[in-house]
């Protein structure tokens, strides 16, 4: 169940960042409210995820995965571009996430 809440955390936090971008510095009130609500949801979901997941692992996965999701959404929704070096470092984040998920504590 913790993994499900962690996925919901990642989706909510990524949505919040997109809503912040769309709010244009809090000029668009509906997007501003959506950003606040989705951030609140992300913290609620993270709290539930932490009931069963290790805090360090959950935070690392949350931070890394939401970074990758937001970058991909930025490319898709806002036509943002990445350099080859940025793509390389983004790939390192993905490799780290995969490694964290496929290793067991000592």
pLDDT tens figures, 17-70: 999 999 999 999 999 999 999 999 999 999 999 999 999 999 999 999 999 999
CA–CA dist 19, 34 (Å, integer): 6
CA–CA dist 74, 51 (Å, integer): 32
| 3 CA to centre of own chain | 14
Q: Tell me what percent of the chain is helix, strand and coil, each rounded to the nearest 5.
A: 80, 0, 20
């Amino acid at each position: 169940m913790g993994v499900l809440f962690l996925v919901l955390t990642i989706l909510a936090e990524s949505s919040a960042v997109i809503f912040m971008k769309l709010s244009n510095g809090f000029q668009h009130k509906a997007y501003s409210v959506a950003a606040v609500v989705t951030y609140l949801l992300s913290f609620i979901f993270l709290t539930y995820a932490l009931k069963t997941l290790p805090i360090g692992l959950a935070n690392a996965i949350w931070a890394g995965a939401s970074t990758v999701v937001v970058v991909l959404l930025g490319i898709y929704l806002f036509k943002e571009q990445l350099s080859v070096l940025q793509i390389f470092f983004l790939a390192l984040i993905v490799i780290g996430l995969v490694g964290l998920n496929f290793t067991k504590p000592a």
